[in-house]
Amino acid sequence: MAVDQTKLLGRLLEVTRNLSAAVDLETYLQSILSAATELTDSETASLMEYDDAAQELCFKYVPWFHRDAISSAKIPLHASAAGWIFLHVKPLVIDDVKNDPRHYGKIDDLASFTTRSLLGVPLILHGRPMGVFEVFNKAGGSHYTEEDIFILETLASLAMTAMQNDLLEGNVIASQNEARDLDRLKSEFIAITSHELRTPLGLILGHSTFLRELVGNEYQEQVDAIIRNATRLKEIIESLSSVDNYQTGGASLRSRKVSVTRIIEDVSASFRDMTVQKGITLKVEIQRDQDLLVDADGSKIAIVLSNLVKNALTFTNNDGRVIIRGGLESGFVKVVVEDDGVGIPAKDLPHVFDRFYQVESHLTRKHGGMGLGLSVAKVMIEMHGGRIWAESAEGMGSTFTFLLPVEKENDTPDPAQPFAE
């Protein structure tokens, strides 16, 4: 007897809606088994999954009254109806199992059940069979119909989607847990390494500075090299600690009213030697008669700007140009560092603020650094409730912009907005 079309569509719609509901996989698949027996007018149903290691089918979900008896049973591929369905990847109807050698009677014996007829369809994912969905014993001795096949194939598709979603969700959770563990180990390593390096590094700097006063000109260059490289190590350690302290909640701000104009001027002056050495023009453009006052930790803002300017100078060719702009915009101080250097490839642009990210590979790198400067800048701007972003075109230069709220409760404006005239 055909299923009432309104009832059929309503039931299928109900099962489909439940796919997105917050229910566990077992509950959902049990509801699919119930819908399958109801809509095909069958006595019972089962869902089998292929075990690639054993090369057999095993029961994934069965009605509760068969669970203990057959949950651990295996179905061979070459001596069962389910195996035939799996191998041929198409539906199978057997109206009288007594006259079909493909029926695997061992499961009947285990479950104390008598199979008279069956309908099965493959569970398919990306064109490959993953299991089999079967219903048994059409009521009244009737034969399974094309409509029954359509119903079971529809429910099998929903079941496969639910199983795949559950697998993907499990993989995501596992990846998130693994990422958290790795991040914790990384933070612990950074904290321990930074702590252990500070003492010997301090001794190296202290003694080498002392030696510089004692040795003659003959060894001055060697001592200066020791001090210069030890200072570089100290900067790396401080950068590591700055990022880690922020991410672990250990960072703090010493805020007071500071002039961003003064910070820009001081930072630009500190790079004078580097600009002269490379022949780069470093220009400062600040809106006239504005101190650009913000409530901030001035030392951290200076570190941010220093990292951006150093990055711009490093990746700008000799005789290039770097511009630092500062101004007020809608309750924010906006600082822009623009260069006409090598630029950043589009694929790397979204990652330039990631810790340890290098635009150049370790095999082709021409510039120094550990990929910490920009991540430190991002951390420190966000500590102040601000924003920082980058715009670039490969071969055309880069523009780094950050916003600092004059009043901390203000929202960050749209970065696409230009300076107010």
Q: Where are the domains of the chain?
A: 1-251, 256-405
Compute the radius of gyration of the chain from its Cα atoms: 35
What was the pLDDT predicted at 116? Answer: 94
The answer on pLDDT for 133 being more than 90 is: yes
What was the pLDDT predicted at 98? Answer: 92
The answer on pLDDT for 420 being more than 50 is: no
φ, ψ of residue 259 to 5 degrees: the values are -95, 115
What was the pLDDT predicted at 364? Answer: 37
What was the pLDDT predicted at 365? Answer: 45
Q: Considering the chain, what percentage of its residues have pLDDT values greater than 90?
A: 38
pLDDT tier for residue 206 given thresholds of 50, 70 and 90: confident
Closest CA to 418 of 336, 305, 298, 316: 336
What was the pLDDT predicted at 359? Answer: 67
What was the pLDDT predicted at 75? Answer: 92
pLDDT tier for residue 88 given thresholds of 50, 70 and 90: very high
Give the ranges where 78-219 is alpha helix by DSSP (H). 81-88, 106-111, 146-214
CA dist., res. 252 & res. 245, Å (int) = 9
What was the pLDDT predicted at 392? Answer: 92
Token pair 């055909």 in the structure block, residue: 2
The answer on pLDDT for 76 being more than 90 is: yes
Q: Considering the chain, what percentage of its residues have pLDDT values greater than 70?
A: 85
* 231 compared with 93, residue with greater pLDDT: 93
CA dist., res. 169 & res. 163, Å (int) = 10
What was the pLDDT predicted at 303? Answer: 87
Instruction: Give the number of other CB atoms < 10 A from CB of residue 52.
Output: 8
Q: What is the pLDDT of residues 375-414, one digit of tens each?
A: 888 988 998 999 999 999 888 899 999 999 987 654 444 4
Q: CA 231: distance to chain centroid? A: 35
Over range 138-145, report the average pLDDT. 92
Task: Mention the CATH class of domain 1-251.
Answer: alpha beta
CA dist., res. 71 & res. 62, Å (int) = 8
Q: What is the pLDDT of residues 259-287, one digit of tens each?
A: 999 999 999 999 998 899 899 999 999 97
Looking at every residue in the chain, the average pLDDT score rounds to 83
φ, ψ of residue 412 to 5 degrees: the values are -75, 130
Over range 190-212, report the average pLDDT. 80
What was the pLDDT predicted at 410? Answer: 43
What was the pLDDT predicted at 409? Answer: 53
φ, ψ of residue 256 to 5 degrees: the values are -160, 175
Q: What is the pLDDT of residues 303-361, one digit of tens each?
A: 899 999 999 998 898 889 999 999 998 889 999 999 999 999 889 898 888 876 766 54
pLDDT tier for residue 290 given thresholds of 50, 70 and 90: confident
Over range 236-242, report the average pLDDT. 68
Supply the pTM of this predicted model: 0.49
Choosing among 3.40.630.30, 3.30.70.100, 3.30.565.10, 1.10.645.10, the CATH entry for 256-405 is 3.30.565.10
What was the pLDDT predicted at 263? Answer: 94
pLDDT tier for residue 103 given thresholds of 50, 70 and 90: very high
